[in-house]
Structure 1
């Protein structure tokens, strides 16, 4: 008789307590490396959402949180960063089990993640208002920045802890409270992480996590009347529903969606660096990154040389178990994503693309949701595979002749998130950078991040910014205070001379 292994079970975290779902239901989360369920997660309902939002609202109004000084809030956020640093290996393993990213990549990401909490912890007591040069005598007018209230954070499955951090840290230092709804595909690492929030000493209700599906959990959260801001990272279909819901509660909104980012290689570039930058840009995280450089535009004079370098390295990429240190590329995060990638390969072939390498599941791996790193060669930028975000390990390569042409090609997209430019001509680098429609431009590098630098884009990439100093304005509102400094008696407003 086959032994049935009891799966690890996760409840929700509401008002400082581990809370079972109101309906008593749980759903499985699968390990992408094997395709098998490895834990169960609470299936939340609209009632659970209301409980979490009410708890967050009560915590926002409570003296314990509301009267806490910015310096004290900053210390708590910095403490959270310290706890992450102490638990890197544990958190990295849960992230890998849940979304299939390489343990090496997750370890590196989590080793750097505390920098975001230290940055925002230090920024907490440096958020200033202004004294305004008012045009009325005997009036002192100043402005202060105040928290909004309850924040709804909706995070995706590709980088749960990193993308949650971009919302959580600025929300907390500005005095807001938060309800996090992680992807139903990857909730475990967030639920493990929230144990550290409790350990850091945050008051009950300041941070809450409700797990479950977009319907009803995401829908109920983004339309809840007590939610004052929605920070969403995810896909376009869900984003449209979030925008619709935000009209019900007039919540402010930021959207960080997809991208179809180009890497542009000019003939004077360091070709070895450019080739490695292209490979890192698209095949790291199996292409499951918002900033994935899924289009490569290569100058015709160096096209063959760069292609040779790309294909040579890509064919050597070691695919396998993401928990193994020697693995270079792991599985896709979900079976649905694997099927989506396969569909785009079919479209690419039907639309005249030339398959250079990859294009199928690895023959030597029986289980899990793996797909080979794939390169397509295209004559132009008009096919479905070159224009739509795939979110998988597929690179489209197109040759170009001059600056004007490649700028037009790079901008020929509905997205506007990131761009890589590879050249040793500093004038060209700045010229092209100025003409590219993207929120992030990397010159002779790719996928670099820092808590100091804003992230965001335009078009179908969404709007608003995350990270950087200016993001605190998205989590606060201005209050203007008028002070009459005169001791003169105010005239009767109904006495007319």
Structure 2
């Protein structure tokens, strides 16, 4: 009989009722493990997390909680090979792609452990400078952040079962807020194994970390006024969440990371044969193929000067032709599978939709799969489109195909003002995105388009030959930088260094005598 993953709630492991859902290998179709959250006592789970977990975490200082994060990072590092094996079986990813998720999560934990230590043995955070409320300076106000008395509920996406957990849990736990994670069912096994290892280690206080595997039914009904919810997924689901009483009536906080039509812009000075041109082509192909394009930050639209459209398409196609697709157990394979056959159907539907207004210039359907049966596996090779008239196109600016699919479109380089103004205008038609990248041979040229893009993007990634070796990549989310975006990207914001702690704190103004204000202890100032 296939193993059933238990849920960890109210301080104990509990199996869900009913048949549950079976997780499978997206390459071979093999049944792996089952999950179910039916029949759980969610009231007890939330109460235990808030009361026992929250009190246990808040009894420690920031520095002490940072030390816990460091110990968790060491524990996960020691168990990396187990996690790689699960990612291979359940997500169908190559080792390099698994590293983006697994090592990325561990690195984020380590970063917050180190940065959190700088807050010292304190229990609250200072927000800005004090201000006088009286002419004689005897009465003052100080704004402080204190940890929310609720819990953090994470409803996560299928593409990053490791990083998706730890990039949220690291600042939450550092803040002193207990976590209940509901991983996406399709890839819940890796999240479950990591949580189980942390629970078994005893690093965290009881109730600080819980996991519910299976349906999310009933979770939002338990969310209270001082709880916070972080959701990663589709804009359609996010809209349903926003209408829930937990946020409309009870005023709980909600952070959303949703759909994103991210862009890459090749500047007008980056002619074929130059360093910037080569960096652009390499990055577009990498973002199309890493994790089989299943990244919220992947490049979906590439805008290039109209005179070089043919050169870009030729260069991209030549690189894409070298990508081997199939079973990641075969060492020759560079790109594995999508997470499921259902996701494969979704990607194929997106390809069909884009085809109605774009021409296909690299047809992945003609690429053979290595050691993978097309009738069983969720493998699909890259597809590259061209839209010759992006000003009058709609689908490329509206449809995010969550797989190895991208669209190239030409723009007009201006002779005056902002040369890349047309490209910026096209990028903005995505309605708000997580990230855009700009490629130029001139370090002085990337600033103006970057600031113009900043109005509608959460992050702008600027690449010139000067950072060829040091740049972190268009799609890599670093803990020091903001992860989020306006509009259709959800309007949320995660990470951004210690700024992430603000979501898990409540700000209050303390008005008192200057003497009392000066005698307030246990408060740290967030680094600039």
Query: TM over 0.5: same fold?
Result: yes
SS at match of 2:389: coil
Q: 2:351 aligns with which of 345, 348, 354?
A: 345
Aligned equivalent of 1:10: 5
Instruction: Quickly say closer, same or farther: Cα 1:482–1:266, change in 2 above 3 A.
Output: closer
Q: Deviations over 1:378-428 (max 9, x none)?
A: 112314244311111111111222122212111112232111111112232
Q: Does 2:243 align with 1:236?
A: no
- Give, in whole Å, the separation in 2 of the partners of 1:307 and 1:24: 51
Q: Deviations over 1:177-201 (max 9, x none)?
A: 1111111111111110012322152
Choose from 397, 415, 438 the match for 1:421: 438
For 2:25, the equivalent position in structure 1 comes to 31
Q: Unaligned regions of 5+ residues in structure 2, if any?
A: 414-419, 464-472, 517-528
Match of 2:126 among 126, 129, 136: 129
- CA positional deviation for 1:161: 0.9
Q: Is the 8 A contact 1:386 1:396 kept in 2?
A: no
Q: Which 4+ runs in 1 deviate beyond 4 A?
A: 361-364, 484-487
User: Would the alpha carbon gap of residues 486 and 123 (structure 1) be closer, same or farther in structure 2, given more than 3 Å must change?
Assistant: closer
Is the contact between residue 302 and residue 408 of structure 2 (CA under 8 Å) also seen in structure 1? yes
Q: CA deviation at 1:60?
A: 4.1
177-186 or 243-252, which deviates more: 243-252
After superposition, residues 48-67 of structure 1 pair within 5 angstroms as 48-60=41-53, 62=55, 64-67=56-59
Aligned residue runs from structure 1 range 116-195, under 5 A: 116-124=108-116, 126=119, 128-129=125-126, 132-136=130-134, 138-139=138-139, 141-148=141-148, 149-195=150-196
SS in 1 for 2:227: strand
Listed as ranges, the gaps of 5+ residues in structure 1 are 1-5, 488-497
Q: Identify the range of structure 1 (88-97 vs 123-132) with the bigger mean alpha-carbon deviation.
A: 123-132
Cα separation, partners in 2 of 1:465 and 1:413, compared to 1, 3 Å: same
The CA deviation at 1:278 is 0.7
Q: 1:384 aligns with which of 395, 405, 414?
A: 395
Cα drift, residue 359 of structure 1: 4.4
Indicate the residue corresponding to 1:481 in structure 2: 510
The more displaced of 128-137 and 166-175 is 128-137
Corresponding position of 1:3: none
What count of residue pairs does the alignment treat as equivalent? 475
Residue 413 of structure 1: SS of its match in structure 2? coil
Return the alpha-carbon distance in structure 1 between the equivalents of residues 502 and 106 of structure 2.
22
Q: 2:383 aligns with which of 368, 374, 378?
A: 374
Distance, in Å, in 2 between the alignment partners of 1:378 and 1:61 is 52
For 2:288 and 2:394, how far apart are their aligned partners in 1? 18
> Secondary structure of 1:282's match?
helix
Per the alignment, residue 520 of structure 2 pairs with none
* 1:13 and 1:191 in contact (8 A); partners too: no
Cα distance in 2, alignment partners of residues 59 and 397 from structure 1: 53
Q: Secondary structure at the match of 1:304?
A: helix
Q: 1:223 to 1:50 in 2, by over 3 A?
A: closer
SS of corresponding position for 1:94: helix
**Offset at 1:363?**
4.6
Q: TM-score, normalised by structure 1?
A: 0.90
Q: Which position in structure 1 is the counterpart of 2:363?
A: 358
Q: 1:495 is matched with which residue?
A: none
User: How many Å separate the matches in 1 of 2:224 and 2:49?
Assistant: 13
Query: Aligned partners of 2:349, 2:237: CA distance in 1, in Å?
Result: 21
Partner-residue secondary structure (3-state), 1:128 = strand
- Matched residues in 1 for 2:295 and 2:424: separation? 23
Give the alignment of 1:388-403 within 5 angstroms: 388-402=399-413, 403=420
- CA displacement at 1:43 relative to structure 2: 3.1
Distance 1:380 1:223, change over 3 A: farther
Larger mean Cα displacement after TM superposition, 256-265 or 86-95? 86-95
**Deviations 1:113-149 (CA, angstroms, capped at 9, x unpaired):** 3231122223335263156232235435434321112
Q: Deviations over 1:294-317 (max 9, x none)?
A: 111121232222221111111120
2: CA distance, partners of 1:315 / 1:25? 43
For residues 429 and 208 of structure 1, do their structure 2 counterparts lie closer, same or farther at Cα, with a shift above 3 Å needed? same
Task: Give secondary structure in 2 for the equivalent of 1:469.
Answer: helix
Distance 2:59 2:281 in 1: 53
Cα distance change of structure 1 residues 61 and 287 upon mapping to structure 2, 3 Å threshold: closer
Deviation at 1:446, TM superposition (A): 1.7
* Contact persistence 1:59–1:204 (CA under 8 A): yes
How far is 1:432 from its partner? 0.9
Q: Which residue of 2 aligns with 1:492?
A: none
If the length of structure 2 is used for normalisation, what is the TM-score? 0.85
Question: RMSD in angstroms over aligned alpha carbons?
Answer: 2.2
Partners in 1 of 2:222 and 2:236 — Cα distance? 16
Distance 1:317 1:463, change over 3 A: same
Q: What is the CA distance between 1:374 and its match in structure 2?
A: 0.5
> What is the distance in 1 between the residues matched to 2:301 and 2:407?
5
SS state at 2:230 partner:
strand
Task: Report the equivalent of 2:459.
Answer: 440
**Counterpart selection for 2:320 from 297, 314, 318:** 314
Partners of 1:431 and 1:203 in 2: CA distance? 49
When residues 327 and 359 of structure 1 are mapped into structure 2, their CA distance, relative to the original with a 3 A threshold, is closer
Question: Would you say the 8 A contact 1:147–1:174 is kept in 2?
Answer: yes
The farther-off stretch of 421-430 and 23-32 is 23-32
Counterparts of 2:240 and 2:202 in 1: how far apart (Å)?
A: 35
Relative to 1, partners in 2 of residues 1:303 and 1:164: Cα closer, same or farther, differing over 3 Å? same
Instruction: Tell me if structure 2 keeps the 8 A contact 1:52–1:210.
Output: no
Give the CA deviation at 1:457: 0.5
| Partner deviation per Cα, 1:23-52 (whole Å, 9 max, x = no partner) | 34432012111233211112335x443232
**Matched residue of 1:153: which SS?**
strand
